[in-house]
Structure 1
């Protein structure tokens, strides 16, 4: 068995996840034959009384074998999905220990049976090609890699190794509970598969490697396309829609997995289908909820993801004197009479009631247009100009003390605004975004 580690460099400290079960104790023994720079990382899930005994055994084992021992106990669970929450806590602890010992290698004891179970679970839950491939022997993450050298062996192989090498291990009684999906497959499906072929795990391993090769190719294709489709946390729908439906779906998987830092089991087929439906919807402004309190928002031909937050319905009304910043807008009184455009407002003092204010939109707001003297709802102007729904509520409007709307900056002017060749005495300039001004 030890030859499975021959291609791995052991110059620096390595971290190995050890539960005290037969799989991880087998892996630990194999690693000790290669290096003594080992940090044993143990998580007490705190759901069995035996966990205390297992933790003490590992602590004593590490002291005897001159290995570093790091452990943590999960005090409470806050989510309904125990398996998922426990997994997140485990990996968070692994990353903490990797950083502490400046290690870039995490060893885990997943074996061939685990691979079969994972693939079957992914098929049941629906996934993408990478998900259907199950468990990789080596998973490369930004700051470290996860190495699973035991995938070519079954659990029975590992138990046999432990017996022949007199290695003590403990059996987790919760593994018999078929309420957990993985355990259900383990006890109800795996025995039938092994009955037909005792080496069925090797066929699943080949299947997994084939899918991983396909996925690696698709990843290369997607990475070439991403720059024109996804920029600054924004998906450009027109560019995305140029792609074949298969590539389109995998681009969305890629973007979401990148957004969630490649944490598994967060993005599912259901999320992708919801996003595709959102893209195809004729509604210009629409959103869907995503996991971990995120929201995906479509605004006309763009999509972006943000933290879900309480809707800000706070009204504002701010007096304007000579200069003012409101949200992403800067307003400044100007003297240059050559300025022109919808970002410039010219008004005559004796036609309006001072002071001037900038306020956000209210239901029923309208403006009397300069060009036609026709009253038009501000909401309609926002829609015509494709102002995203998220920006409409707080978009600043210039009003006088009679609350008459004089100007919708960058969009429309009222009949109280004047042209360059007309009489006026006030010029206000609007700068939107990060444009510099003096």
Structure 2
């Protein structure tokens, strides 16, 4: 076992400091024994999760073991164990502790005792739960971690081999009784599913390890093939955008393009996109629909506006109805401002301006568009506002932000900031008339 371990994990042939995570279970105690026998520069990290009454005694055993073997020992006691999602929470606590030690004590390598049975369990669990190619690739032998690397050197060994080594070398270890409980998904897989798979094929651990390697090799190749597409994604003030030309042609490539995109921004946004959502997006982009929006959760929306795609936070629109009369200024959400004034000249302020006759019936009502709204575009043409938007190819999100200006008789006189009614003044005049000034403060 020793020869295979060091042949398959050349990273262990080093004089650098190695931190080993030890739970006192058979896997980690065997790994500790193997690395000690090789005379490596080791430190031992242990977390007492306080989830079992035996945990305190196990921590004390390991403290004494390290003292006797002259090994640095680092202990963390989880003072307030989680009540929900215990496994995931415990894992976060452990790895945060390991990272802290590596940074403070200058360790370049962290090793854990995950083995071949763990690999099989993990891959079967992820197949059952669903996930991406990256998640189905299982447990990596080596990955970047903290100030160095994380290595799992026992992945090519079975649990049975580890038990045999422990018995042969008389390695002391503790059994965690909770591993027998079927209250946990992993334990149900371990006791009910994995034994049947091993009966069907005694070589399954080797085959799973090979499959895991194939998946690990495939992921960077896919990303390399999509490198140029991913490079054309642009970050905006509101989120991210890319053109329809950026999308790969093949459906499968589109799936991996979107997967890589969301993986790349997950840490920044906190947005986790499910496989169901990814497949919905792939299906939606295939359809010949020029505008659509899919909610992804946490206020994020994926939107198509003609030949552009956007990932943006959902805008909160003010749906109020406001009244505006002469010499009055209306400020909406500190972002939009409307003023109705008498004048003979245009405003010097940038914005949208609507000249209106003095005999217009005040006050004006400012509201969002409603179903059936029509505006007069000429003496003989009164068109639905929705039709105007379609004809002008106005994106859906901009349509929703538009304001409809209505006089006191119910006639629509302007659609801000897009069009004026035929009833507005269309030619320059030196006569006094009303001007409705509309300005929008664009966030930077």
**Which category describes the TM-score, using the shorter chain as reference length?**
0.7 to 0.9
Q: Which runs of 5+ in 1 are unaligned?
A: none
Matched, 1:86 2:94: no
Specify whether residues 335 and 431 from structure 1 end up closer, same or farther in structure 2 by C-alpha distance, changes over 3 A only: farther
- Partner residue of 2:418? 411
Q: Distance in 1 between matches of 2:15 and 2:405?
A: 67
Alpha-carbon offset, residue 422 of structure 1: 4.3
Q: Distance in 1 between matches of 2:358 and 2:292?
A: 41
Alpha-carbon offset, residue 152 of structure 1: 1.4
Matched, 1:258 2:267: no
Q: Distance in 1 between matches of 2:148 and 2:412?
A: 58
Q: 1:345·1:418 contact (CA, 8 Å) conserved in 2?
A: no
Alpha-carbon offset, residue 289 of structure 1: 4.2
Of 208-217 and 385-394, the range deviating more from structure 2: 385-394
Alpha-carbon offset, residue 226 of structure 1: 0.9
Which aligned pairs between 1:336-351 and structure 2 lie closer than 5 A?
344-348=352-356, 350-351=358-359
Which aligned pairs between 1:47-126 and structure 2 lie closer than 5 A?
48-61=52-65, 65-72=71-78, 75-78=81-84, 82=85, 86-91=87-92, 93-95=94-96, 97-99=98-100, 101-102=102-103, 105-126=109-130
Of 362-371 and 410-419, the range deviating more from structure 2: 362-371
Q: Distance in 2 between matches of 1:308 and 1:169?
A: 54
- Partner residue of 1:215? 219
Q: 1:354·1:401 contact (CA, 8 Å) conserved in 2?
A: yes
Q: Which of 36, 40, 43 is 2:45 aligned to?
A: 40
Alpha-carbon offset, residue 300 of structure 1: 3.4
Q: 1:44·1:52 contact (CA, 8 Å) conserved in 2?
A: no
Alpha-carbon offset, residue 115 of structure 1: 1.4
Q: 2:48·2:55 contact (CA, 8 Å) conserved in 1?
A: no
Q: TM-score, normalised by structure 2?
A: 0.74
| 3-state secondary structure, aligned to 2:78 | strand
Q: Distance in 1 between matches of 2:292 and 2:285?
A: 10
Alpha-carbon offset, residue 23 of structure 1: 1.6
Alpha-carbon offset, residue 137 of structure 1: 0.8
Specify whether residues 388 and 97 from structure 1 end up closer, same or farther in structure 2 by C-alpha distance, changes over 3 A only: farther
Q: Distance in 1 between matches of 2:97 and 2:440?
A: 46
Q: What does the per-residue CA deviation read over 1:332-361, in whole Å, with 9 as the maximum and x for residues that have no partner?
A: 8999859999x632414624466767x441
Q: What does the per-residue CA deviation read over 1:54-74, in whole Å, with 9 as the maximum and x for residues that have no partner?
A: 344445545653312223255
| 3-state secondary structure, aligned to 1:203 | helix
Matched, 1:369 2:370: no
Alpha-carbon offset, residue 169 of structure 1: 1.9
Specify whether residues 128 and 346 from structure 1 end up closer, same or farther in structure 2 by C-alpha distance, changes over 3 A only: closer
Q: 1:126·1:269 contact (CA, 8 Å) conserved in 2?
A: yes
Q: Distance in 2 between matches of 1:89 and 1:403?
A: 63
- Partner residue of 1:421? 428
Of 410-419 and 97-106, the range deviating more from structure 2: 97-106
Q: What does the per-residue CA deviation read over 1:375-399, in whole Å, with 9 as the maximum and x for residues that have no partner?
A: 4454554555555655655544456
Q: What does the per-residue CA deviation read over 1:104-152, in whole Å, with 9 as the maximum and x for residues that have no partner?
A: 6543321111112222333334444333332211233687643222111
Of 196-205 and 152-161, the range deviating more from structure 2: 196-205
Specify whether residues 361 and 253 from structure 1 end up closer, same or farther in structure 2 by C-alpha distance, changes over 3 A only: same
Alpha-carbon offset, residue 212 of structure 1: 1.5
Q: Distance in 2 between matches of 1:197 and 1:177?
A: 26
| 3-state secondary structure, aligned to 1:76 | coil
Of 8-17 and 26-35, the range deviating more from structure 2: 8-17
Q: Distance in 1 between matches of 2:187 and 2:352?
A: 68
- Partner residue of 2:164? 160
Larger Rg computed on CA atoms: 2
Q: Distance in 1 between matches of 2:337 and 2:15?
A: 57
Q: Which of 164, 183, 187 is 1:183 aligned to?
A: 187
Q: Distance in 2 between matches of 1:97 and 1:335?
A: 73
Alpha-carbon offset, residue 45 of structure 1: 6.7
Alpha-carbon offset, residue 240 of structure 1: 5.3
Q: Distance in 2 between matches of 1:370 and 1:180?
A: 67
Specify whether residues 349 and 144 from structure 1 end up closer, same or farther in structure 2 by C-alpha distance, changes over 3 A only: farther
Specify whether residues 283 and 142 from structure 1 end up closer, same or farther in structure 2 by C-alpha distance, changes over 3 A only: farther
Q: What does the per-residue CA deviation read over 1:1-25, in whole Å, with 9 as the maximum and x for residues that have no partner?
A: 3625542597876654433221223
Q: Which runs of 5+ in 2 are unaligned?
A: none
